[in-house]
Amino acid sequence: MMAFDGSGDVRDETLLAAYAGGDQSAARVLTLRHTGPCLNLAFRMLSDRGEAEDVAQEAMLRLWKIAPDWRAGEAKISTWLYRVTRNLCTDRLRKRRNIGLDEAPEPADDTPGVEVRMMEGDRHDALQAALETLPDRQKLAITLRHLEELGNPEIASIMEISVEAVESLLSRGKRTLANRLAGRSSELGYQS
């Protein structure tokens, strides 16, 4: 068994193969690398920290289950995990739509309480509220591109659409967000 120090020198596929061979330290490195991004995507899609944690954990569990059968070179592990996370979130969102308004859980309020961060909290809330008004596919594309900082080809792979379709979703989503936030510049501390 190899001892992995957590540095970025070892490729994900190498780590997954090592884990499949029984090396738990490889699993720790992969977990450290990928749980955070999965959690961030899930939280942005679901707006619920507890559900996002469940989704991130489930995505990682699915990676561990598929490890022995992973076919190197077919997909990046990060792309596969984003796709699994997206699908798990989509399933949860569909289930939510079937729940009555009174039965739905209250969204978690993660607004920072520190006075210095109040403006950032207001900006975050305004952006999140505007994101919530977007169609699901536009919201996912915007989240992956601008919040997760992925490239359009990787987004296309995750969403299983063409790069051109990603560009179209991003363009329409940004235009809608700009319209939704247009009158709030000074309120949110942005100067013209």
Between 1.10.579.10, 2.60.40.2550, 1.10.1740.10, 1.25.40.10, what CATH number should domain 10-102 receive? 1.10.1740.10
Establish whether domains 10-102 and 105-192 are of one fold: no
Q: Which residue has the higher pLDDT, 110 or 40?
A: 40
- The 3-state DSSP class for residue 46 equals helix
pLDDT band at 107 (very low <50, low <70, confident <90, very high): low
pLDDT at residue 105, as a whole number: 59
Cβ count within 10 A of residue 96: 14
**pLDDT of 170 strictly over 80:** yes
Domain residues of the chain, as ranges? 10-102, 105-192
Poorest-pLDDT segment among 52-66, 69-83, 159-173 = 69-83
Going from the C-alpha of 53 to that of each of 2, 6, 10, 73, 140, the distances in angstroms are 29, 22, 26, 29, 18
pLDDT greater than 70 at residue 71: yes
Q: Which of 27-36, 49-58, 59-68, 127-136 has the least mean pLDDT?
A: 127-136
Q: Residue 45 in contact with residue 139, Cβ under 8 Å?
A: yes
Closest to 96 in 3D by CA, of 145, 55, 149: 55
Locate 105 and state its tokens. 């859980």
d(CA 133, CA 190) in angstroms, rounded, equals 22
Predicted TM-score of the model (pTM): 0.60
| CATH hierarchy code of domain 105-192 | 1.10.10.10
Question: Does residue 39 surpass a pLDDT of 90?
Answer: yes
Sign of the CA dihedral with 31 first, then 37, 42, and 48 last? positive
Q: Return mean pLDDT, the chain.
A: 83
pLDDT in tens, 41-50: 999 999 999 9
